[in-house]
């Protein structure tokens, strides 16, 4: 089943009363369940705007958006937020973790906001499980400042997963990370995708796109290319090929 159907989407930002900035200009896209799509394109081409629309953070100005068959383009802000909390997980370039809070508590947070009456014990259990999925069980008590960049991004991924979203959206998830750490994030994404989660990732790095199953190239608010990835790379294999360094993670206490 199609998870995302976008039809002829327009989005224009209005700066003051004078200036209109067209960010999406008649964009159509279908994403099936289980896809792993990389969105590529130069800065300003509309990648983040597209993610915000798909992620129900923002409404399109014009066009149709079906999310798992539900027409969400014209929902009120509150209804849109409810859909977002239920179906979408976000990972950003700048991890956006709360600094005075442990890894586990950061991951618990989205469940605290969900009003489906989970007990604290159940929230903790689910958060631990999500940390386990990203291989960070042993760092549950650490605060973000005690974690490497890659570990912080893994906490952010666990936080996105804990609500069991239909789609995981990642906007430049490796933008602040070195090559090896970026590969570790891709390894986690490939594993999650193998387990069935639908993944959409923005990147401006061509190389990172080769871990996805499909690359979509944007320019000036439109899709200009959309191809399956031939010779897809496995992040775990690519990691093996890197020269061995003193493990960065061990140096962070
Ligand atoms: N909040 C905003 N207000 C005004 N203009 C914006 C805003 N966000 C993005 N834009 C503009 O919309 C266009 C697309 O931006 P964006 O989606 O951030 O592109 P990308 O993520 O590919 O760099 C750019 O011209 C950008 O300047
Ligand atoms: Mg962007």
CB 133 within 8 A of CB 156: no
- Smallest CA-to-CA distance from 40 within 230, 239, 211 is with 211
Rounded mean pLDDT, 148-173 = 96
CA of 68 to the centre of ligand 1 (A): 26
Look at 73 and 32; give whichever has higher pLDDT: 32
Q: How many Å apart are CA 83 and CA 105, to the nearest integer?
A: 23
Is 26 inside any structural domain? Answer: no
CA of 70 to the centre of ligand 2 (A): 26
Q: Which tens digits make up the pLDDT trace of 107-147?
A: 999 998 766 788 999 999 999 999 999 999 999 999 999 99
Which ligand places an atom closest to the C-alpha of 49? Answer: 1
Tell me which of 49, 61, 220, 222 to substitute to probe ligand 1's pocket, judged by most ligand atoms within 8 Å of the beta carbon. 49
Atom of ligand 1 nearest to the CA of 171: 21
DSSP string, 60-91: -SEEEEEETTEE-TT--HHHHHHHHHHHEEEE
Neighbours of 169 (CB within 10 A): 25
Q: Per-residue pLDDT for 248 more than 70?
A: no
Q: Which tens digits make up the pLDDT trace of 38-89?
A: 999 999 999 999 999 999 999 999 999 999 999 998 899 999 999 999 999 9
Is 242 inside any structural domain? Answer: yes
Which ligand places an atom closest to the C-alpha of 46? Answer: 1
Is 230 inside any structural domain? Answer: yes
Residue 38 sits in a domain of what CATH number? 3.40.50.300
CB 192 within 8 A of CB 133: yes
Is 17 inside any structural domain? Answer: no
Is 95 inside any structural domain? Answer: yes
Is 22 inside any structural domain? Answer: no
CB 48 within 8 A of CB 57: no
Q: How many Å apart are CA 4 and CA 101, to the nearest integer?
A: 34
Name the helix (H) or strand (E) containing 23: strand 19-32
Give me the pLDDT at residue 64, please.
96
CA of 138 to the centre of ligand 1 (A): 39
Name the helix (H) or strand (E) containing 157: helix 149-161
Is 51 inside any structural domain? Answer: yes
DSSP, collapsed to helix, strand or coil, labels residue 169 as strand
Q: What is the pTM of this model?
A: 0.92
Give me the pLDDT at residue 250, please.
54
CA of 167 to the centre of ligand 1 (A): 22
Q: How many Å apart are CA 248 and CA 238, to the nearest integer?
A: 17
DSSP, collapsed to helix, strand or coil, labels residue 25 as strand
Name the helix (H) or strand (E) containing 40: strand 36-40
Protein residue with least CA distance to atom 24, ligand 1: 44
Half-sphere exposure in the Cβ direction for 145 (13 Å, CA) = 3
Is 245 inside any structural domain? Answer: yes
Residue at token pair 């989660």: 197
Domain count along the chain? 1
Query: What is the residue range of 213's domain?
Result: 34-59+88-251
Mean pLDDT of the chain: 93
Q: In sequence order, what are the residues at sequence separation of 6 or more whose Cβ sits closer than 8 angstroms to the Cβ of residue 33?
A: 1, 2, 3, 196, 198
Give me the pLDDT at residue 17, please.
82
Helix 103-113 and helix 120-133: axis angle, to 10°? 120
CA of 53 to the centre of ligand 1 (A): 12
Name the helix (H) or strand (E) containing 130: helix 120-133
Report the Cα 56 to chain-centroid distance in Å. Answer: 13
């Amino acid at each position: 089943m199609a998870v995302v159907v976008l039809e002829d989407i327009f989005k224009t930002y209005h700066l003051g009363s004078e200036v209109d900035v067209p960010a999406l200009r008649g964009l159509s896209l279908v994403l099936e369940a289980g896809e792993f799509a990389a969105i590529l394109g130069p800065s300003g081409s509309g990648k983040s705007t597209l993610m915000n629309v798909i992620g129900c953070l923002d409404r399109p100005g014009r066009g149709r958006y079906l999310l798992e068959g539900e027409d969400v383009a014209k929902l009120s802000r509150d209804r849109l937020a409810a859909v977002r909390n239920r179906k979408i997980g976000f990972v950003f370039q700048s991890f956006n973790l709360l600094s005075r809070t442990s890894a586990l508590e950061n991951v618990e947070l989205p469940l605290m906001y969900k009003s489906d009456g989970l007990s604290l014990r159940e929230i903790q259990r689910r958060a631990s499980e999500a940390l386990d999925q990203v291989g960070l069980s042993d760092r549950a008590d650490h605060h973000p400042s005690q974690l490497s960049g890659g570990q912080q991004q893994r906490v952010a991924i666990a936080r996105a997963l804990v609500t069991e979203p239909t789609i995981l959206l990642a906007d430049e998830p490796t933008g602040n990370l070195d090559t090896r750490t970026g590969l570790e994030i891709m390894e986690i994404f490939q594993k999650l995708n193998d387990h069935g989660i639908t993944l959409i990732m923005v990147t401006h790095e061509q190389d990172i796109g080769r871990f996805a199953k499909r690359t979509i190239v944007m320019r000036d608010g439109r899709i200009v290319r959309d191809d399956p990835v031939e010779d897809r790379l496995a992040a775990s294999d690519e990691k093996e090929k890197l020269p061995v360094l003193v493990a960065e993670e061990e140096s962070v206490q």
